[in-house]
Structure 1
Amino acid sequence: MDTQTIATLILVGSFLVMIFFRFPIAFAIGISTAGTIFYLGLPLEQLVQNMVGGVNKFTLMAVPFFIIAGEIMGAGGISNRLITLSNALVGWLRGGLAMVNILASMFFGGISGSSTADTASIGSIMIPMMKKQGYDAEFSTNVTMASSVQGLLIPPSHNMVIFAMVAGGVSVGRLFLAGMIPGIFLGVALMIYSFFISIKRQYPKGDAFSVRNILVASKDSILGLFTVIIVVVGVVGGVFTATESAAIAVVYAFFITFFVYKEIPLKNFWKILERSINTLSIVLILIALSTAFGWVLSYLRIPALVAEFILSLTSSKILILMMLNIMLLLLGMIMDMSSIILIASPILLPVVLKLGMDPVHFGVLLVFNLGIGLITPPVGGTLFIGSAISGVKIERLAKTMLPFYLVMIFVLIIVTYVPEAVMAIPNLIMPTR
């Protein structure tokens, strides 16, 4: 075998072996990259230079700001207000609390941009409430986890920012807009399924419909929801960049949480920062190491080889996209979301570009697939949080999640094969020149 083939086997083989033996993902990426660079006889300075270059980007500054803004709003009472608003809007339906759960996740996801934060915040309130009203513990948890994926699609989403950085030249504003319809469509699909299940199991209705309650709840929650408007309108309108909008969102969230809502004391801000730094440190380490990993991939021409291989299997766009979805779903079951975005994007982008798919469309498709991965075993972070809150074993949750997986895959198929469902809003509001 030639040097390139052996180096590829070292890089990919050692990485997969370490993943199989449950090494921390950062160690798996770093060790496989360093080993391959050493074998190729390249200076190890390449590893450090690429790691530094990976995090030394202005666009990337948006990620910590979005994380901090989401943590502040999540801790500052916005969850309760969004649940109250959602209850006024849909709580009167059969299975009203399930609908409230999904709608609250839709609202909160647009603030936190995180599936795990959504499940921890909304779930800690809604799951006990649903169980008390007679809902099954498994159903209550499954609704919470499935609906939390909306937060990854509905803007602002720091994972979209990471993809834009890796893809290079992809508009963050167009990505934000592209996630809107899929995120809302996912919520509607989950509501329809939950409604029929609620009829079948005779889950209770909530209070009667009241316009007055809607107006009162809207007034109480509008300041929190305005965070999304600031970010999306600001970025899309060209008023400021994604990074600037994220910084403004932090200042706004800080002011609303500590000086308007006042549900937590100012001293709690340090705990919020601590949680944010813990999350951010993981993300930045993964970005740094994955950048070096991606550089070695490019050096070995692996993205081009993978593209050629996939395109040689079939010329059918339908089959190729199906294979990519299956691949991403499987990767999402065993790897961290940020790592997959950083590693898979440069490999798969050449494939979808040759198929004529817009990179913005692919970004939404990628994030959606990996969002499903967060609620699948064996390493789904959202699945672990849902289990911890509800007390239901992960094995039981994974089994009872099967109907929800089917609903989500149905929406994924629509997102994959109906480009207009993703690109209609960005093409209307931010058309490419």
Structure 2
Amino acid sequence: MTLLLIAFLILLMLKVPIAFSLFISSMLYFIVYDVSPIMAVQEIVSSVNAFSLLAIPGFILAGTLMNSGGITERIFDFANKLVGHIRGGLGHANVFASLIFSGMSGAAVADAAGLGKVELQAMKKAGYSEKFSLAVTGASSMVGPIIPPSIPAVIFGVTASVSIGQLFIAGIIPGLIMAFAICVYIYFYALKHRDTFPLPTKLSVKSIFHSFRHAFFALMSPVIILGGIMTGIVTPTEAAIVAVVYSIILGAFYKSLTIRSFFESVRETMETTISVMIIVAMAAVFGWILASEQAAQQLSMLLLDSINNKYIILLIITVIVLVVGMFMETIAAITILTPVLLPVVTQFGIDPIHFGIIMILNLMIGLLTPPVGMVLYVLSAISNISFLEISKMVLPYLILLISILLIFTFVPGIVTFLPNFIFE
């Protein structure tokens, strides 16, 4: 196992793509220890042959269609009319729009890349500094994978063999708390810098109603998706297909979705899905090696021999996942770490649903953290600000999000209350 980990780390340091790093290091292990490569083929096939994974291209396509169909603009306009009068104006609208859009795409990068462009343009036009706008957009995109639907939750549910529906519902309260905390920070930041901040817009019930009517059907998307899952009418996978169909209908209704933009959305979805599934497949082989080497049992024995407090275990695991999230892609991290860490947490009586949300939030924070912060790269690509500068801008939000993460870690009832209430 030492050879496997060393080879993997060396490949990562050489900036070999994560999927190839996993595959090459795994193949090296198979060659050195004379393991039949047929095992790798079996793991690759079985890892992607799961009905629940169909939710991933579904939610990605739904979010992409929303972006290309001009629906994100309607959502942001409604968010601005609703909360733009609060000090911090478009900063709050940015967070609120991400909260709504997260109920459609389930991906932080989709939020930052799609809705982020709309938000940044509007904030720049209103006179907000580019640094503030980028930091808020990056922080608000973290809400996406926590509020259902969530692509990382689908991956964790499949890997850990737990209910994806329960994971979706468990993310609602934490996601709302995260959004509220970011808005509180924005309010006090705007208050402190009120001399340089644009004045908030005036509250107008008439304009709110007009914007709501303009965006009504777009706003119904998360209601339909979550309502269907919570009532048991559809599974999370079926909800993804419903989201796609609804997105197409909306695009046709608003006359904003063309044949060309539809196929462009399909192409983009295929590219994203392929990259995700390759990582899942390669990580499955890597995970099989860790399982055959009894990595989970060794870690359990190490921790159980020295620690008997579940909160200390949670803290140690939180630090481990947080550090991994700084260097490793989210999907790969979930696929590799879950089989190793889940047996440890279950031995301490920690709810797998609670652990799943904590792991996802940890890895989402990693998207905002160098050196592999994908959201930071996206924001850098759609602006003229360097990766390093954006990393400095989001630091206060990182501190805030890590503080919230610790609260969720040590107060599991915040995470488990809603799924326990609905499903039991």
Q: Report TM bin, short chain.
A: over 0.9
Matched-pair identity in %: 37
Q: Gapped runs of 5+ residues in structure 1?
A: 1-7
Given candidates 206, 231, 246, the residue that maps to 2:200 is: 206
Distance in 2 separating the partners of 1:313 and 1:392: 47
Give, as a single letter, the amino acid of the residue that structure 1 aligns with 2:320.
M
> Is 1:254 matched with 2:248?
yes
Match of 1:5 in 2: none
Instruction: Tell me the equivalent position of 1:101.
Output: 94
Question: Is the partner of 1:153 in helix, strand or coil?
Answer: coil
User: SS at 1:152's partner residue?
Assistant: coil
Deviates more, 1:224-233 or 1:335-344: 224-233
State the match for 2:362 in structure 1.
369
Aligned alpha-carbon RMSD (Å):
1.3
Partner residue of 2:183 out of 188, 191, 194: 191
Secondary structure of the equivalent of 2:382? helix
Partner of 1:67: 60
Deviation at residue 43 of structure 1 after TM alignment = 1.0
Q: Is 2:22 the counterpart of 1:38? A: no
Counterpart for residue 222 of structure 2:
228
Instruction: Give the Cα–Cα distance (whole angstroms) in 1 for the partners of residues 213 and 412 of structure 2.
Output: 36
Shift in Å, 1:151? 0.3
> Within 2, Cα distance between the matches of 1:307 and 1:230?
42
Between 1:277-286 and 1:131-140, the stretch displaced more is 131-140
Q: What does the per-residue CA deviation read over 1:71-109, in whole Å, with 9 as the maximum and x for residues that have no partner?
A: 111221121111111112110011101111111111111
Query: Match for 1:249: what amino acid?
Result: A
> What are structure 2's unaligned runs of at least 5 residues?
none
SS at 1:251's partner residue?
helix
Cα distance in 1 between the residues matched to 2:199 and 2:415: 34
* 1:278 alignment partner in structure 2: 271
* Rounded Cα–Cα distance in structure 2 between residues aligned with 1:220 and 1:97: 19
Any residues of structure 2 matched to 1:9-408 within 5 Å, and which? 9-168=2-161, 170-202=162-194, 203-257=197-251, 259-408=252-401
> What are the superposed Cα offsets for residues 156-179 of structure 1, whole Å, 9 maximum, x if unpaired?
1121111100001x1111111000
Partners of 1:62 and 1:244 within 8 A in 2: yes
Q: Which amino acid aligns with 2:44?
A: M
Please tell me the residue identity of whatever aligns with 2:187: F
User: Is residue 78–residue 211 contact of structure 2 (8 Å, CA) maintained in 1?
Assistant: yes
Q: Is the 8 A contact 2:107 2:144 kept in 1?
A: yes
**Alpha-carbon offset, residue 206 of structure 1:** 2.8
Larger mean CA deviation between 125-134 and 108-117 belongs to 125-134
CA apart distance, 1:60: 1.2
> What's the CA shift for 1:129?
2.6
Tell me the matched-pair count: 422
Q: Kindly indicate whether the alpha-carbon contact (under 8 Å) linking 2:229 and 2:239 is maintained by their aligned counterparts in 1.
A: yes
TM-score normalised by L of structure 2 = 0.97
Deviations 1:173-216 (A, max 9, x none): 11110000111110100000010000111122332112222222
TM-score by length of structure 1 reads 0.95
Check whether the contact 2:100–2:222 (CA below 8 A) recurs between aligned residues: no
